[in-house]
Every structure is written in structure tokens, then in C-alpha cells.
């Protein structure tokens, strides 16, 4: 008889690296986590990135202003 869920077996965990959207610090997120707190700035880093208006809105550049738009686009 199995006492634990096999999906929670720590031997099968995988880790991926993600950048904090607030400060750019690289954080580790394990496969059993959906978010972690950045140790540098305290902001939350999510495994899946939430779509931003800069990715889909044709007026984002105009709305945010050139400098902020470039910063958010990573240019």
C-alpha cells in the first residue's frame, strides 16, 4: 500500500530558472511550485508568465511611453 501520492515523490522534482519581473534576479522554481518569492526584492515570481498588454495591444507603446515600453520589452 502506498502512503504518499507518487506525484509528490521528491526524487522526481525538476527545477527551472526564472527571472524576477521586478528586479531581474534569477530564481529557482521546482516542478511542484507555481510561484516563489524573490530573495532579492520580495516580489513573487510565477512559473507561467502572465501576458502583458505590451505583448498584444497595438497602443501599448503610445500608452506606456517610449522609455517605459522599451524597459518592459527588455530593449
For residue 20, how many other CB atoms are within 10 A of its CB? 19
Does the pTM exceed 0.75?
no
Beta bridge partners of 36: 45
d(CA 22, CA 62): 22
3 state DSSP class of 54: helix
Q: Residue 2: its pLDDT value, please?
A: 47
Say if CB 41 and CB 20 are below 8 A apart.
Answer: yes
Share of the chain above pLDDT 70, in %: 79
pLDDT in tens, 10-45: 667 788 999 999 999 999 998 888 889 999 999 999
pLDDT at 27: 95
Separation between Cα atoms, residue 43 and residue 15, nearest integer Å: 19
SS3 13: coil
Amino acid at each position: 500500500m502506498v502512503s504518499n501520492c507518487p506525484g509528490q515523490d521528491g526524487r522526481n522534482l525538476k527545477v527551472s530558472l526564472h527571472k524576477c519581473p521586478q528586479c531581474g534576479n534569477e530564481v529557482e522554481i521546482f516542478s511542484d511550485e507555481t510561484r516563489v518569492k524573490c530573495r532579492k526584492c520580495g516580489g513573487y515570481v510565477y512559473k507561467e508568465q502572465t501576458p502583458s498588454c505590451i505583448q498584444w495591444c497595438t497602443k501599448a507603446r503610445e500608452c506606456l511611453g517610449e522609455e517605459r515600453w522599451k524597459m518592459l520589452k527588455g530593449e
